[in-house]
Structure 1
Amino acid sequence: MRIADFLRGGSRSVELDLLDNLFLMADPERFDSTLASRVLYEFGTLSKALAADLHELERIKGVEGPIIAAMTLVASITQQSLRTQASAQPVINDWSALLAYLHVTMANLKSEQFRIMFLNCRFMIIRDEVLGYGTVDHAPAYPREVIKRALELGATGVVLVHNHPSGDPEPSRDDIYITRNIIEAGRHVSVKVIDHVIISASGYRSLREGGMLG
C-alpha cells in the first residue's frame, strides 16, 4: 500500500496535520514535510506512534533529537492530563475517564504490565502503581503482595488492570483465576476488588461487566 493511499481519510488526515505541526514546531530549521506521513505509515495511528520506544522511533530516517523529545513530551502530557481527570472524582462516577487513561497508558505496550489503582472508601484513586512486568503474554500477579500493598496504603478497594499485547482483550482462564484469588485474599481484610480491566489496542474487557468476578 502506498503512503498516500494509507493516509487518505478523515481521522488519518487530522492525525497527519497534528503530527506535521508538532514536527514543525520541534525542529523548524530541518522540517521535513514527508516525515509525519512516514511516521504514521510506520506505526498506523498517532497513539501507537506516541507509544513507540526510542529504538522504534530511531529506525525512521529524520526522527531524532528534537522530534523524539517533542513526541515524548506530548505523550507524557496526555497521560498526566488523563490521570488527573481520572483521579478528580470517584472512579464509579466516571468510569470512562479511567478507561481513557488506561488505554493511552497501556494499550500499545509490547509486553504485559500488571497495574493497580488503589482506592479509598469514597472510591477515589489514592495511588496508581505498576506491581508487575512480564513477557508478551504474562505478567505476574501475587494476591498476597496486592493485598499487602493495599493495607500499607490504607486502601479499601482496588481496580486491577493488565494489558494484552496480542490485541485481544478477552480474559484467559488464568486472568479469571488470579482475580478470584485476589478477591478471596482481600475479603478477609476488607479490601474489595472493584474490577479487573484488561486493556488492548482493540478495546477493553471488564470482568465486572462480564459477570466474572465470582
Structure 2
Amino acid sequence: MYDQDPSKKAAKPHHLGHRDRLRARARDGGLPALPDYELLELFLFLSQPQGDVKPIAKALLDRFGSLSGVLAASVEDMTTVKATDIKGRTKAVGKETALDLCALQEVARRVALEEATKRTVISSWTALLSYVRLALQHEPREQFRVLYLDRKNQLIRDEVQNKGTVDHAPVYPREVVRRALELSSSALIIVHNHPSGDPTPSRADIDMTKQVIEAARSLEIQVHDHLIVGRHGVASFKQLGLM
C-alpha cells in the first residue's frame, strides 16, 4: 500500500498537544510566567477534559475585564459567555465550568480571610484590605458588611448586613449595634462597595457612618473605620479624616 500524498492528509487540530505543552511550560517556567488566559486555561482543562479551551478563556477575560473579574462573576453571568473556535463552532461556558471557577474564587476568599485573622485586625491591616477587595471589588450591586471584632481586635464575624441596587444598600444603625451585642463584639469596621468603581465617599456614606458611630458609642462599642471598596482601591474614612 502506498503512503497517502502528504498534501492530502487531514490537517491536525491546532490545539492537539496544546494541553501537554502548556503544562510543561508551567512546570519549566513556573506559573507566574503564564499570561492570564493561559493560567485560566489550566483550570478549564479540569472542567472541560476535551477540546480547545483557549477561545473560552479569552472570551471570559474579554467579558469580565480581568482574571479577578472572571472569578468574581456569578454562575449566571459566566454561562452567557460564548466563544468561536477556529472551525467556526460556538461553545458556551457550561454551568459546571462556571461553578468550578466560582469555587476557586471562594478558595481565594477564604485564604485571604485566614491571612486577615491570623493577628489582630489592626496589626494585619494590609491583609484586611486585600481581603475586602477580593470580596467586594467586582460585586455588581452595593453590599453592606460589618466586621465584628473582640476586645483584642480579632475578627469574630464578617457579616453581610444588606444587599441593594447598583448604587444603594439600606443600612440600619440599630441593627448593626444589636448584632454587635449578640456577638459580644466590642468594636467593628463598616465595609461596603461602590459598583461604579470609584471608592470616594458620598454625602450619604458620611451621614450613615456618623449614625452608626453615635448608636455604637452609647453602648461603648468602637467603630474603627469605614472602608469603601472600589474596583481599583479602598477608601478609608479614618485616613481621609472623616471620623
Q: Same fold (TM over 0.5)?
A: yes
Candidates 156, 168, 173, aligned match of 2:198: 168
The yes-or-no answer on 1:76 pairing with 2:71 is: no
Query: How do 1:61-140 residues align onto structure 2 when only pairs under 5 Å count?
Result: 61=82, 62-140=92-170
Query: What SS does the corresponding residue of 1:212 show, helix, strand or coil?
Result: coil
Query: What SS does the corresponding residue of 2:196 show, helix, strand or coil?
Result: coil
The yes-or-no answer on 1:58 pairing with 2:88 is: no
The yes-or-no answer on 1:14 pairing with 2:14 is: no
Shift of 1:13: 5.8
User: Equivalent residue for 1:191?
Assistant: 221
2 CA distance for matches of 1:56 and 1:69? 11
User: Equivalent residue for 1:4?
Assistant: none
Residue type of the alignment partner of 1:39: L
User: Could you say which structure has the greater relative contact order, defined with CA pairs below 8 angstroms and 6 or more residues apart?
Assistant: 1
1 CA distance for matches of 2:188 and 2:42? 40
Q: CA distance change for structure 1 residues 156 and 64 in 2, over 3 Å: closer, same or farther?
A: same
Query: What SS does the corresponding residue of 2:50 show, helix, strand or coil?
Result: helix
The yes-or-no answer on 1:207 pairing with 2:228 is: no
Matched residues, percent identical? 37
Shift of 1:27: 1.6
Is this contact kept in 1: 2:74–2:102, CA < 8 A?
A: no
Is this contact kept in 1: 2:73–2:102, CA < 8 A?
A: no
2 CA distance for matches of 1:211 and 1:181? 16
Worse-superposed segment, 65-74 or 84-93: 65-74
Candidates 205, 210, 216, aligned match of 1:180: 210
User: Equivalent residue for 1:46?
Assistant: 67
Shift of 1:200: 1.1
Is this contact kept in 2: 1:90–1:123, CA < 8 A?
A: yes
1 CA distance for matches of 2:147 and 2:232? 22
User: Equivalent residue for 1:5?
Assistant: none
Shift of 1:33: 2.5
Query: What SS does the corresponding residue of 1:91 show, helix, strand or coil?
Result: coil
Worse-superposed segment, 126-135 or 21-30: 21-30
Residue type of the alignment partner of 2:205: D
Deviations 1:123-164 (A, max 9, x none): 000011011111111111111111111011000000000000
> How many residues in Structure 1 have an aligned counterpart in Structure 2?
203
Q: CA distance change for structure 1 residues 111 and 65 in 2, over 3 Å: closer, same or farther?
A: closer
Residue type of the alignment partner of 1:24: F
Residue type of the alignment partner of 1:116: V
Which has more radius of gyration?
2
User: Equivalent residue for 2:23?
Assistant: none
2 CA distance for matches of 1:44 and 1:112? 19
Q: Normalising by structure 1, report the TM-score.
A: 0.90
Q: Normalising by structure 2, report the TM-score.
A: 0.80
Give the alignment's Cα RMSD to 1 decimal.
Answer: 1.5
Candidates 37, 41, 58, aligned match of 1:37: 58
Is this contact kept in 2: 1:179–1:196, CA < 8 A?
A: yes
Shift of 1:65: 3.6
